[in-house]
Chain A
Amino acid sequence: MNYLLQQIINGVSLGAIYGLIAIGYTMVYGIIGMINFAHGEIYMVGAFVSLIAFMALGIAGITYIPLALLLVLVIAMVFTAAYGWAVERIAYRPLRGSYRLAPLISAIGMSIFLQNYVQLLQGARVKTLQPVVHGGITLATGSFGVQVSYLQLFILVLTIILMAVFSYVIAATPLGRAQRAVEQDSTMAALLGIDVDRTISLTFLIGAMLAAVAGMMVLLYYGVIDFFIGFEAGIKAFTAAVLGGIGSLPGAMLGGLLIGLIEALWSGYASVEYKDVMVFVVLVLVLIFRPSGLFGRPEVEKV
């Protein structure tokens, strides 16, 4: 029982990270209908920027942990957002309106480019960060204790805050309204005076910021990153977005949580090697019975 509880706590923390990345996929898909393959790499860039920021702050002598966390968060979000914006500007905007697979190939090219860019600049070896947040709350003691570390709490609280802010932005600000309008019908939105290009750029900015937060969380959680982490996380986050119903924001978060839970429970009770296989098997099963994901709107074909 305790073991199960511990695995669920671990799975939810992991799932929060996947969910934050998945939102970037689902938003971009909703607004321009493309799979942004480079999004995993944006998350990887976020993790690297966070690591560099942590070390720079350490050198600058800022050792008060909450302040350092906040500063790193802001730095990572700002610089990673610049990357997200630049990727859209260089690789996707010139292809807008051309046919469907062109931006996909461009995105795959961008992803290969960013991986090798970071590898060349920062080296191929694994980078480590000493644990920053220590300790935790013990929920149960005994033969198998259950513990929620402060880090896991930090991840969960931060995710909830971000989700609240983000839902507010989408639901109640001019940007959110513009974004939803472009998502429904970009031509009509443009006719009504919405700057479509700007709205799409801002969507990429927001997606990259959330990915940067996920990158920082992963850096704190595992303490180890390399230039290749974006690929696997990207695939899983995209799976999460599809699982939840692509285009749906709560769906992306729920999908992320589910993927995190499956991974944690499967590696806890069955085999670590096949946890990724299990993720895809669940995806296929869900899609067979609900072809548009858990929260997705079923597509209506018009003749």
Chain B
Amino acid sequence: MSAEPAAAAAPATNPIAPRRLAIGGILKEAFLTAIVALVLAIPLVGFRIVESGGTTGLRTRFWWVAIATGAVFAGRLALGLWRGAMPPRAVTGASWFDPVARYGRRHARLAAAAGIAVALALPALPYASRSVVDLATTVIIYVMLGWGLNVVVGLAGLLDLGYVAFYAVGAYSFALLAHDLGFTFWEALPLSGLLAATAGVLLGFPVLRLRGDYLAIVTLGFGEIIHILLLNWTSLTYGPNGIGDIPRPGLFGLVFERRAPPGFTTFHDFLGVPFNPSQRIDFLYYLVLALALIVNLFTLRLRRLPIGRAWEALREDEIACRALGINPVNVKLSAFGIGAMLGGFAGAFFATRQGFISPESFTFTESATILAIVVLGGMGSQMGVVLAALLLVVLPELGRGFAEFRMLIFGAAMVGIMVWRPQGLLARREPSLRLHPRGDGP
């Protein structure tokens, strides 16, 4: 059997072939794609199930099918022509983003310093309205979650599909401690991190023997179990109604309210400035920024400690690790516990910022988003997580104008970015430790 017919039969999978495609080939491709689009569109686009007063009926809208098919044909044609006109480099996987990513990696310190400077100055920038600062706070919460999950997935190589469980444990611990038992923010914060870490170790203990995707499904199940518990264990969690009135943090006993409760001083009275609600938003922003920077420093340091090196070694080769006397169970448990603790901190902060939490905030979509942030960022890359979190949080926010299509675009973007850069935005696994300085040796 000769190889030529097979190669000719599948021009689309050959990365170099589109360059040599004649216009006829491109037209044929576009035509075939349009036929597939037609088949896909006929049932779900062509018919609409309508409910009117208890009975359901069917409405047709074949115009939409025609428009969709035409659009797909035109799109595929344009793509084919563009690919044909492009130099082969653009087709073989390299992209304009590569130099950016390389520059970012080489000057990581500079980029990090610039990022922190922008983050510090953000509330003072001219166009930074309250909603912008609020959005930035959300981004940083996701960055923290991303860094936490990065320890588990990126460093230790354990696929966790239920990370939201620890986020939820942190948030609910905080809410219950603060709301029901009257703990202050600074007392409840470490406790909720600790409780989340306990949950991580408790889950990790029985299941860390499992490999790869078996672990993934069990963590996914754990996330679902926590969600079901939050919904149904009403005596503890208040069920679907959620918990409100979660106290806000203060700064050394100063509260951010218009009028101080008895025994407290307000922030604006203390400084002698007029009250402004954005003071509290700015304060929360700086608080989460400080927390995030501490988390970042903590994980960067951990990576250089024996435990961090053991995580990375375990990710690369478990058998070699065991041969070298590393106990895989302890190492995995520590990664699970620390990842869970960081998620718990993020959850506690989330609870105090929102002032209200309910099980709806802790669904699988949330786990998927956090995992997407880690993978899109390029596993194990701290800067990558920041970039991906910016992208995935700000993108849906920009789409508020056409709210219905927000999640549709979000899903499509996830597929698109993955296909465009399968290795993540800032790709390449950098070892945390090198025997030879960069440039020397192989």
What is A's interface to B at a CB cutoff of 8 Å? 29, 35, 45, 48-49, 51-53, 55-56, 59, 75, 79, 82-83, 85-86, 90-91, 93-95, 98-99, 101-106, 108-118, 120-123, 125, 127-129, 193, 195, 197, 231, 235, 238-239, 242, 246, 273-274, 276-277, 279-281, 283-284, 287-288, 291-293, 299, 301, 303
Contact = CB atoms under 8 A, between A and B. Distances in A.
Contacts of B224: 235, 276, 280
A274 B231 CA distance: 10
B228 A276 contact: yes
A99 B157 CA distance: 13
Interface stretch (B253-261, B270-278, B370-378): B370-378
Contacts of B6: 195
A82 B32 CA distance: 13
Contacts of B184: none
Given A193-B1, A283-B218, A48 B411 contact: no
Contact of A128 (B56, B379, B413): B56
A280 B222 contact: yes
A235 B375 CA distance: 21
A118 B411 CA distance: 13
A90 B33 CA distance: 11
A129 B423 CA distance: 45
B213 interface: yes
B294 interface: no
Contact of A82 (B40, B232, B365, B414): B40
A35 B319 contact: no
Given A52-B58, A94-B419, A113-B411, 13 more contacts: A55-B57, A55-B58, A83-B40, A105-B376, A112-B414, A113-B415, A127-B51, A195-B6, A197-B13, A273-B228, A276-B228, A280-B221, A287-B207
B317 to A, nearest CB: 9
A109 B218 contact: no
Given A56-B47, A287-B207, A106 B404 contact: no
A239 B159 CA distance: 16
B36 A109 contact: no
B410 A112 contact: yes
A112 B407 contact: yes
Contacts of B375: 101-102, 104-105
Interface residues of B, number: 63
A112 B44 contact: no
B218 A95 contact: no
Interface string B202-233: 00001101110110111011101100110110
Interface string B308-324: 00000000001100000
Given A51-B49, A79-B39, A82-B39, A122 B418 contact: no
Interface of B: 1, 6, 10, 13, 36, 39-40, 42-45, 47-49, 51, 56-58, 153, 159, 206-207, 209-211, 213-214, 216-218, 220-222, 224-225, 228-229, 231-232, 318-319, 364-365, 368, 371-372, 375-376, 379, 404-405, 407-408, 410-415, 418-419, 422-423
B40 A122 contact: no
B145 to A, nearest CB: 16
B413 A109 contact: yes
B335 to A, nearest CB: 16
A292 B214 CA distance: 8
17 contacts: A45-B44, A48-B44, A51-B49, A79-B40, A93-B13, A101-B159, A101-B375, A104-B159, A108-B414, A112-B410, A112-B411, A115-B407, A120-B404, A121-B44, A127-B56, A277-B229, A284-B218
Contacts of B206: 284, 288
Nearest to A239: B217
Nearest to B365: A112
Nearest to B10: A197
B319 A301 contact: yes
Nearest to B222: A280
Most buried by A among B159, B405, B415: B415
B228 A116 contact: no
A193 B6 CA distance: 9
Contact of A52 (B43, B210, B404, B412): B43
Contacts of B318: 301
Given A48-B43, A112-B368, A105 B414 contact: yes
B410 to A, nearest CB: 6
Nearest to B416: A109
Nearest to A95: B422
Nearest to B232: A273
Contacts of B36: 82, 85-86
Contact of B217 (A90, A105, A118, A238): A238
Contacts of A113: 408, 411-412, 414-415
Nearest to B367: A108
Nearest to B48: A122
Given A113-B415, A121-B44, A231-B364, A280 B225 contact: yes
B228 A274 contact: yes
Please list the 6 inter-chain residue pairs (A to B) with the smallest Cβ-Cβ separation, ordered nearest first. Answer: A109-B414, A113-B411, A112-B411, A280-B221, A98-B422, A116-B408
Contact of A121 (B45, B207, B414): B45
Contacts of B13: 93, 197
A121 B48 contact: yes
A109 B411 contact: yes
Nearest to A103: B418
Contacts of B412: 109, 113
A242 B226 CA distance: 20
Given A113-B408, A195-B6, A284-B207, A122 B319 contact: no
